[in-house]
Amino acid sequence: MGRVLVAFGSSEGQTATIAERIGDTLEDAGHDVVVVHAKHPPAELDPGRYDGVIVGASIHMGSHQSYVESFVDKHSEALNRVPSAFFSVSLTAAHPDPDDREPAQEILEAFLEETGWEPDTTLLVAGALKYSGYGLLKRVVMRRIAGKAGGDTDTARDYEYTDWDELEAFIDAFRALLPDAPEQS
């Protein structure tokens, strides 16, 4: 059914959770899956040797993790040779109005422009507000940002906005690109 590489960057853990979910879903569908943290990928890792690659990163202060950018930059030729997909995790993606999500789309496109990678499919994924995991300063800053955006400000709890059904559809679209993919009905 094909070997798939999932590489991700994550600062507070939500993109890691999403990458693991993608890996589990692909494994359940019969694929051989390797999930790696893009900050410390195995030295011998060659994305070009996989049948397909998914990369994910989250947005902090207006950009994706620089180590994910370095990873994609380094492997852009290989990534452009195999079926590939990119997902970008942010709070901006949680806005219901597409106009309000536009800044996240612009950051995603700038990332691809910078790296020269042309994935077959992309997705903006709504992330999480993990107040319980933030230090005091980060909690205060994030509460203020969330408040300004009309978001959730009760720092006594965490919030997850990820739309798992939308993620499933993204995985299905990616699987359809793989060699020997079953015909879509």
Ligand X SMILES: Cc1cc2nc3c(=O)[nH]c(=O)nc-3n(C[C@H](O)[C@H](O)[C@H](O)COP(=O)(O)O)c2cc1C
Note the residues at the interface with ligand X (CB under 6 A): 10-15, 58-62, 89-92, 104, 127-129, 138, 142
Would you say 5 or 104 has its CB closer to ligand X? 104
Would you say 32 or 109 has its CB closer to ligand X? 109
Residue 45 C-beta: closest distance to ligand X, Å = 20
SS3 state of residue 8: strand
Q: What is the CA radius of gyration of the chain?
A: 17
Would you say 49 or 138 has its CB closer to ligand X? 138
| Cα distances (angstroms) measured from residue 73 to each of 45, 118, 143, 153, 156 | 14, 11, 34, 37, 39
How far from chain centre, in Å, is Cα 184?
A: 24
Residue 66 C-beta: closest distance to ligand X, Å = 13
Residue 179 C-beta: closest distance to ligand X, Å = 30
Residue 159 C-beta: closest distance to ligand X, Å = 9
Token readout for 18 is 């999403």
Residue number with the smallest Cβ distance to ligand X: 127
Q: Which helix (H) or strand (E) holds 140?
A: helix 136-148
